[in-house]
């Protein structure tokens, strides 16, 4: 409701959660399987009278097939009514008990989330409503036709945003025909081609118990959590788990894509396929990138692009680990006349980083930041829920949080140098530049 | 250095549950610095924020954006700590830091593991009075801010429209000033301007330190005395003049024609803030009114205009009651495919009309009350948010204690009061309108792909 206009000193690109640990401070994760085979991850958090729940299906946009946008539109329509109740009535059932219901997709996951007060009187109706949404969403024709139009308008709106245009081109160039190459919100053409039956079939196939993981954090005991899960899934069919996605191919050569755009700045993105959840090199790459462009302004890119030269407000690099290799991306924006300098500094900084690795001093600084800041990663129920959902979906060990700092502490300079050289190739990266004015 | 006050926030009793009592302690140092500590022992972390009473609404024509540029310069070193070292020290302590500027405040913060609070205090105390402000660093940093302006405003059609709308919706009130500053003012800014601004506003008697998290209030107080205590107060601190906005006499309307894909509509009505409101229920009634229109998926804008009639593809309504000066009640909308901004304006005004003529239903009011009660619990999951709330209320002049009346005040609002504020404030002669009219973008021109090599390099 409140409109805020605060402007921050810098923006941080938030990638999907990752973690580190102090043994005594990590939450105790309990795991079990529901009656019909959904995996449940639970943390008891009695500090506040809140329950957070997330049910995640292996049904992200990588499952779209030829109909880019199918996963997103299917998930979106789950907010448009169920069991004969329309969108407003469903929303009233949540909002009338103060609950917050949200749902969305990324390339791997499709999820529904509920945040409610923990008292039975408030929680039970919210869980019942969620269960109705999972059981029989309406997918009504009227809603479908209208929401398709809203998708089309939003795609049109994206074309006035140089950052969004750059990102779309970047994914296409890196992944080609791999399912990760499409944007979750589709294209004008594919959205037009999606039918109501496509949605219903997608829902029937993927929104099933054996394709689900559930994360729960909050003020309810294990028994109550378990019975909540059974109630939630009572009428959801068992189905089967989605098959693994295809591997991501490495890039064979460098590619530079320039798109003219009537903006005062040019947006630059540079990168390649990065790493995946459970990747044996994950921690080494994470630590290395922290020194390159993951540590905000205390990083090489922050220093070279912003602090030394004043070229860009936002500059960063990150790995986005997915089920398969997600992107490694470095980015910045600068006024059109100095974009060539920006691209050059960006590329040379990355090249130097890959060729020579990082210094002992940088290693120590990054390690201290990552391990010393561990408690900040799990200081709210919301953040813990994010980790549970991630650990569950990607089948990471339950000790993931406990092990993180140990893994970071064990990494050597030599390992970083060797890993970066093996995994990153500056001469085979994609560069996207969007801008240049009319 | 006497202790002013220690109060426990009274426990808020929900219909069905009692939220654990949250202790807030308030102190004032001899040099005028205010310290507010809210203990929250759920996780071994601490948030530390320093709030200064200065922001873009303190600025003047010709030097807009100066508070924000100064905020950037606060990371550029002191005699003790060379440029960048501040951030390196916080980082090496596992911390996260940033700063932000708004119309009413400039604030700096760190999030740290709980034992490292003193690291924050030592550095913040140093830069409260001792930053270097060299021309060399300033020249580089003001370029960064200009890039920030391009990113946030120049190249974003809706933000660009909002900035123009905001600038013409106020005549006297300094809320017309964009926080990022006009580009021309940034280009002409001098490092000496910043020196004056810094000297004028950065002092312990113009600052509030807010600490939330797993700490002991008395220990934080002792730490604050050690680090902030020795700083001399400013002796010539003059609060800004009122610059009260004259009552608007008739509708104002502007067009913004820029390359864009989608039209966009903004409507704004001047309304009172909680601070200085003649009737203190009115801002709460406006808050509930905003909730009736846009407090969720079952609220009126989404139900009637986005889904029901399909005239808008997106819409929002909102208002901040915790500002230093009176601000605007805002509505914004993007028309759906096949509909125009004219239609969008018409249907939004029809919603306003209905709020004036027909009392809202009990079920809508009950929904908002449930959301407010629950929201009040949900926001305790974030110690950062709690510190933000305290800092904002303190810095605009309301005082943190008024945070606690929010739930109760919202609960007491009646359908008649909502109708009354709609009739009094949301009227045609007080309306400001801006319309974004998209010009062609020619985006297809010049698409080139170079394979195998690096373009120009």
Among B96, B445, B454, the residue with its CB nearest the CB of A347 is B454
List, in sequence order, every beta strand (DSSP E) within B289-447: 312-318, 327-335, 432-439
Closest alpha carbon to B145 in B230, B60, B76, B46: B76
- The answer as to whether B243 is a domain residue is no
Model pLDDT, residue A3 = 41
State whether B144 and A310 contact (CB < 8 Å).
yes
Query: Hey, is B177 helix, strand or coil?
Result: coil
Architecture per CATH, domain A255-436, reads as: 2-Layer Sandwich (3.30)
How many Å lie between the alpha carbon of A39 and the closest alpha carbon of chain B? 26
| Domain boundaries, position B11 | 5-228
Q: For residue B446, what is the nearest residue in chain A, using CA coordinates?
A: A260
Among A146, A295, A308, the residue with its CB nearest the CB of B91 is A295
Burial class (CB in 10 A: 0-12, 13-18, 19+), B192: exposed
As a whole number of angstroms, the distance between CA B331 and CA B432 comes to 10
Query: For the residues of B102-128, what is the DSSP string, one character each?
Result: -SS-EEEEEEEEGGGHHHHHHHHHHHH
Q: Scanning the structure block, which residue is given the tokens 């698409």?
A: B447
B110 and B61, same structural domain?
yes
Would you give the end-to-end CA distance of chain A in angstroms? 37
What rounded mean pLDDT belongs to chain A?
A: 94
Among B45, B102, B287, the residue with its CB nearest the CB of A6 is B102
Label residue A7 by pLDDT band (50, 70, 90). confident
B380 and B299, same structural domain?
yes
Q: Which chain B residues touch A154 with a CB distance below 8 Å?
A: 313
Among B95, B302, B371, the residue with its CB nearest the CB of A373 is B95
Burial class (CB in 10 A: 0-12, 13-18, 19+), A333: buried
Q: Are A28 and A331 in contact (CB under 8 A)?
A: no
Model pLDDT, residue B8 = 31
Residue A10: strand pairing partners: none
Query: Hey, is A297 helix, strand or coil?
Result: coil
Among A157, A159, A257, the residue with its CB nearest the CB of B449 is A257
List, in sequence order, every beta strand (DSSP E) within A219-354: 255-261, 265-273, 315-319, 327-335
B399 and B257, same structural domain?
yes
Q: Which chain A residues touch B179 with a CB distance below 8 Å?
A: 5-7
B432 and B300, same structural domain?
yes
Q: Which of B45, B74, B83, B145 to mutate to test the interface with A (most CBs of A within 10 A)?
A: B45
- A157 vs B: CB within 8 A: yes
- A308 vs B: CB within 8 A: yes
What are phi and psi for residue B416, nearest 5 degrees? -65, -40
Q: Which chain A residues touch B144 with a CB distance below 8 Å?
A: 306, 310, 312-313
Render pLDDT for A201-239 as a digit per residue (tens, 0 to 9). Answer: 999 999 999 999 999 999 999 999 999 999 999 999 999
State whether A48 and B98 contact (CB < 8 Å).
no
As a whole number of angstroms, the distance between CA B329 and CA B425 comes to 9
Model pLDDT, residue A295 = 87
State whether A255 and B334 contact (CB < 8 Å).
no
Q: For residue A340, what is the nearest residue in chain B, using CA coordinates?
A: B456
Burial class (CB in 10 A: 0-12, 13-18, 19+), A156: middle
Model pLDDT, residue A25 = 65
Looking from the CA of B157 toward its CB, the CA atoms found within 13 Å total: 26
How many Å lie between the alpha carbon of A348 and the closest alpha carbon of chain B? 11
State whether A50 and B94 contact (CB < 8 Å).
no
pLDDT over 70 (residue A1): no
Q: Which chain B residues touch A347 with a CB distance below 8 Å?
A: 454, 457
Q: Are A157 and B261 in contact (CB under 8 A)?
A: yes
Label residue A5 by pLDDT band (50, 70, 90). low
Q: Which of residues 316-375 of A touch B (CB under 8 A)?
A: 333-335, 340, 343-344, 347, 365, 368-375
Model pLDDT, residue B15 = 33
How many Å lie between the alpha carbon of B375 and the closest alpha carbon of chain A? 7
Q: What is the mean pLDDT of residues A11-24?
A: 41
* Maximum separation of any 2 CA atoms in chain A, in Å: 63
Ranges of residues in chain B whose predicted pLDDT is under 50 = 1-21, 444-457
B341 and B276, same structural domain?
yes
According to DSSP, residue A181 is labeled G
What are phi and psi for residue A253, nearest 5 degrees? -155, 165
- The answer as to whether B457 is a domain residue is no
Q: What is the mean pLDDT of residues A34-56?
A: 96
State whether B319 and A335 contact (CB < 8 Å).
no
Q: Scanning the structure block, which residue is given the tokens 């864009």?
A: B260
Alpha helices (runs of H) in A28-119, residue ranges in sequence order:
70-77, 87-95
Q: What is the mean pLDDT of residues A406-422?
A: 97
- The answer as to whether B238 is a domain residue is no
- A97 vs B: CB within 8 A: yes
What are the extents of the domains in chain A? 23-233, 255-436
Q: Which of A2, A12, A21, A95 to mutate to test the interface with B (most CBs of B within 10 A)?
A: A95
Model pLDDT, residue B442 = 74
Q: Are A67 and A126 in contact (CB under 8 A)?
A: no
CA torsion A128→A133→A136→A138, rounded to 10°?
A: 130
Query: Hey, is B452 helix, strand or coil?
Result: coil
For residue B421, give both structure tokens: 């504020």
Query: For the residues of B240-293, what is the DSSP string, one character each?
Result: PP--PPPPP-S-EEEEEEEE-SS-EEEEEEEE--STT-SSTHHHHHHHHHHHHH
State whether B72 and A9 contact (CB < 8 Å).
yes
Q: Are B312 and B301 in contact (CB under 8 A)?
A: yes
pLDDT over 80 (residue A425): yes
Closest alpha carbon to B301 in B350, B261, B357: B350
Model pLDDT, residue A297 = 84
Give the angle subtended at the CA of B50 by the CAs of B47 and B51, to the nearest 5°: 125
Q: How many CB atoms lie within 10 A of CB B8?
A: 10
Q: What is the mean pLDDT of residues A42-47?
A: 96
A-B interface: how many C-beta pairs under 8 angstroms?
A: 311
- The answer as to whether B157 is a domain residue is yes
- A437 vs B: CB within 8 A: no
Q: Which chain B residues touch A91 with a CB distance below 8 Å?
A: 296-298, 302
Q: CA quadruple A417, A419, A425, A426: dihedral positive or negative?
A: negative
Displacement of CA A280 from its chain's centroid (Å): 20
Q: How many CB atoms lie within 10 A of CB B23?
A: 14
- A144 vs B: CB within 8 A: no
As a whole number of angstroms, the distance between CA A335 and CA A341 comes to 11
How many Å lie between the alpha carbon of B204 and the closest alpha carbon of chain A? 22
B99 and B20, same structural domain?
yes
Are A23-233 and A255-436 the same fold in CATH? yes
pLDDT over 60 (residue A73): yes
pLDDT: is A306 or B456 the higher one? A306
B423 and B365, same structural domain?
yes
Model pLDDT, residue A437 = 80
State whether A146 and B307 contact (CB < 8 Å).
yes
Architecture per CATH, domain A23-233, reads as: 2-Layer Sandwich (3.30)
The percentage of chain A sitting over the pLDDT mark of 70, rounded to a whole number, equals 95
State whether B100 and A7 contact (CB < 8 Å).
yes
Instruction: Check which CATH number belongs to the domain holding B194 and give it.
Output: 3.30.830.10
Q: For residue A256, what is the nearest residue in chain B, using CA coordinates?
A: B450
Residues of B annotated as catalytic are: 71
According to DSSP, residue A64 is labeled -
Q: Which chain A residues touch B367 with a CB distance below 8 Å?
A: 92, 95-96
Model pLDDT, residue B22 = 59
Q: For residue B369, what is the nearest residue in chain A, using CA coordinates?
A: A98
Among A6, A152, A313, the residue with its CB nearest the CB of B147 is A313
B329 and B183, same structural domain?
no
B107 and B189, same structural domain?
yes
How many Å lie between the alpha carbon of A373 and the closest alpha carbon of chain B? 4
Label residue A14 by pLDDT band (50, 70, 90). very low
Model pLDDT, residue A2 = 37
State whether A258 and B112 contact (CB < 8 Å).
no
B337 and B190, same structural domain?
no
State whether B334 and A146 contact (CB < 8 Å).
no
B198 and B163, same structural domain?
yes
State whether B334 and A371 contact (CB < 8 Å).
no
Among B180, B443, B446, the residue with its CB nearest the CB of A7 is B180
Among A100, A340, A375, the residue with its CB nearest the CB of B113 is A375
How many Å lie between the alpha carbon of A305 and the closest alpha carbon of chain B? 10
Burial class (CB in 10 A: 0-12, 13-18, 19+), A211: buried
Please count the structural domains in chain B: 2
Burial class (CB in 10 A: 0-12, 13-18, 19+), B411: middle
For β-strands A255-261 and A50-57, DSSP reports them as unpaired
B365 and B217, same structural domain?
no
Residue B209: strand pairing partners: B35, B50
């Amino acid at each position: 409701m409140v409109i805020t206009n605060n402007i921050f000193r810098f923006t941080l690109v938030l990638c999907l959660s990752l973690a580190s640990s102090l043994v005594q401070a990590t939450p105790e994760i309990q795991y079990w399987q529901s009656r019909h085979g959904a995996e449940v991850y639970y943390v008891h958090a009695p500090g506040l009278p809140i329950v957070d729940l997330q049910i995640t299906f292996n049904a992200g946009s990588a499952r779209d097939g030829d109909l880019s946008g199918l996963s997103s539109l299917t998930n979106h329509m789950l907010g448009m009514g169920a069991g004969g109740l329309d969108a407003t009535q469903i929303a009233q059932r949540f909002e009338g008990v103060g609950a917050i219901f949200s749902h969305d997709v990324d390339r791997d996951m499709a999820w529904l989330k509920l945040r409610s007060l923990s008292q039975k009187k408030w929680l039970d109706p919210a869980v019942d409503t969620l269960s109705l949404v999972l059981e029989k969403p309406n997918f009504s024709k009227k809603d479908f036709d209208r929401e398709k139009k809203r998708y089309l308008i939003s795609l049109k709106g994206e074309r006035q945003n140089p950052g969004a245009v750059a990102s779309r081109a970047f994914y296409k160039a890196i992944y080609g025909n791999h399912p990760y190459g499409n944007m979750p919100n589709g294209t004008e053409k594919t959205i037009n081609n999606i039918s109501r039956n496509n949605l219903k079939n997608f829902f029937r196939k993927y929104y099933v118990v054996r394709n689900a993981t559930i994360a729960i954090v909050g003020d309810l005991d294990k028994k109550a959590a378990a019975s909540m899960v059974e109630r939630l899934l009572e009428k959801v069919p068992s189905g089967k788990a989605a098959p693994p996605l295809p591997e991501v191919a490495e890039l064979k050569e460098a590619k530079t894509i320039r798109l003219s755009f009537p903006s005062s700045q040019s947006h630059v993105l540079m990168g390649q396929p990065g790493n995946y959840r459970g990747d044996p090199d994950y921690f080494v790459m994470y630590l290395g990138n922290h020194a390159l462009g993951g540590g905000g302004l205390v990083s090489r890119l922050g220093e070279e692009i912003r602090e030394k030269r004043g070229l860009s407000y936002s500059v960063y690099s990150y790995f986005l680990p997915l089920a398969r290799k997600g992107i490694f991306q470095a980015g910045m924006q600068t006024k059109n006349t100095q974009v060539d300098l920006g691209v050059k500094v960006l590329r040379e900084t990355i090249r130097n980083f890959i060729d020579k690795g990082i210094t002992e001093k940088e290693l120590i600084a990054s390690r201290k930041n990552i391990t010393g800041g561990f408690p900040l990663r799990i200081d709210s129920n919301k953040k813990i829920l994010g980790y549970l959902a991630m650990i569950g979906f990607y089948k990471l060990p339950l000790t993931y949080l406990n092990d993180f700092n140990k893994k970071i502490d064990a990494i050597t300079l030599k390992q970083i140098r060797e890993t970066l050289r093996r995994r990153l190739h500056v001469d085979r990266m994609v560069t996207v530049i969007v801008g240049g004015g009319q | 250095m006497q202790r002013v006050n220690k109060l426990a926030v009274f426990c808020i009793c929900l219909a069905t549950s009692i939220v654990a009592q949250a202790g807030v302690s308030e102190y004032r140092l001899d040099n005028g610095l205010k310290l507010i500590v809210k203990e929250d022992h759920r996780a071994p972390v601490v948030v530390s924020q320093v709030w200064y009473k200065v922001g873009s609404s303190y600025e003047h024509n010709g030097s807009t954006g100066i508070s924000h540029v100064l905020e950037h310069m606060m990371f550029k070193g002191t005699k003790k700590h060379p440029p960048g070292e501040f951030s390196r020290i916080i980082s090496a302590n596992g911390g996260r830091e940033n700063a932000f500027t708004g119309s009413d405040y400039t604030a700096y913060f760190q999030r740290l593991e709980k034992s490292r609070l003193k690291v924050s205090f030592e550095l913040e105390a140093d830069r409260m009075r001792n930053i270097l402000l060299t021309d060399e660093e300033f020249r580089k940093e003001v370029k960064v801010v200009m890039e920030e302006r391009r990113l946030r405003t120049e190249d974003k059609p809706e933000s660009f429209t909002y900035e123009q709308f905001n600038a013409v919706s106020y005549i006297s009130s300094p809320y017309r000033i964009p926080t990022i500053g006009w580009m021309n003012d940034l280009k002409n800014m001098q490092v000496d301007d910043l020196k004056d601004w810094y000297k004028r506003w950065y002092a312990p008697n113009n600052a509030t330190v807010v600490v939330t998290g797993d700490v002991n209030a008395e220990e934080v107080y002792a730490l604050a005395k050690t680090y902030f205590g020795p700083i001399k107060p400013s002796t010539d601190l003059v609060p800004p003049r009122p610059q009260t906005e004259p009552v608007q006499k008739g509708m104002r309307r502007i067009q913004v024609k820029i390359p864009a894909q989608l039209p966009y509509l903004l409507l704004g009505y001047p309304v009172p803030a909680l601070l200085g409101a003649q009737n203190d229920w009115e801002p709460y009634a406006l808050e509930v009114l905003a909730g009736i229109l846009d407090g969720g998926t079952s609220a009126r804008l989404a139900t009637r205009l986005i889904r029901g009639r399909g005239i808008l593809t997106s819409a929002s309504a909102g208002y901040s009651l915790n500002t230093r000066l009176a601000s605007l009640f805002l509505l914004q909308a993007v028309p759906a495919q096949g509909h125009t901004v004219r239609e969008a304006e018409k249907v939004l005004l029809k919603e306003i009309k209905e709020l004036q003529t027909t009392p809202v239903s009990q079920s809508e009011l009950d929904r908002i009350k449930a959301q407010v009660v629950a929201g009040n619990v949900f926001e305790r999951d974030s110690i950062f948010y709690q510190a933000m709330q305290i800092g904002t209320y303190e810095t605009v002049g309301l005082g943190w204690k008024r945070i606690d009346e929010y739930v109760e005040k919202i609960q007491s609002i009646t359908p008649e009061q909502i109708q009354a504020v709609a009739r009094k404030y949301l009227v045609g002669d007080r309306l400001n309108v801006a319309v974004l009219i998209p010009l062609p973008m020619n985006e297809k021109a010049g698409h080139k792909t170079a394979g195998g090599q690096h373009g120009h390099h």
